[in-house]
Amino acid sequence: MASPEAELSLLVVDDDGIAPLNHEYLGRTGPTNVIAFPMQEGEFAELSPHLLGDVVISVETCLREAEAAGIGFEKRFTELLIHGILHLFGYDHEKSSAEEARMHRKTEALLAHLGL
């Protein structure tokens, strides 16, 4: 994941803010926890080679998930941020169980690196 001079945008919203994005871009109803919009894919990826993309996180869903898992909000938020960033780097847990395992291992390694 070498990208020393890359940038991304982070948008923190509530469930009402993420639900329309979830519907429009993923065809799913209701809110979700995180959505990533990679900018290094597609026809115009070369226009901004240092722009990774956008990560959108719903704080309401994050809080519910943290409470359900018995972990702090900050840890769950960090997990979701890592998840979104991994998507920007091409990781995709929905492709296969092997890719899901690969993404999980990378997530755990990054959380450990952060002391979480």
How many residues comprise the chain? 116
> Is 64 or 116 the better-scoring residue by pLDDT?
64
In tens, the pLDDT along 64-108 reads: 999 999 999 999 999 999 999 999 999 999 889 999 999 999 999
pTM confidence score: 0.89
Q: Are strands 7-13 and 51-58 parallel, antiparallel or unpaired?
A: parallel
The reply to whether CATH 3.30.1300.10 applies to domain 8-113 is no
Q: Are 15 and 62 in contact (CB under 8 A)?
A: no
Question: Alpha-carbon distance 6 to 103, whole Å?
Answer: 20
Q: How many helices (H) and strands (E) does the chain have?
A: 4, 3
Q: Residue 3 above 90 pLDDT? A: no
In tens, the pLDDT along 16-37 reads: 999 999 999 999 999 999 999 9
User: Could you give the C-alpha distances from 51 to 36, 47, 85, in angstroms and in order?
Assistant: 13, 9, 12
Sequence spans of domains, the chain: 8-113
51-58, strands of its sheet edge to edge: 7-13, 51-58, 34-38
> Is 113 or 49 the better-scoring residue by pLDDT?
113
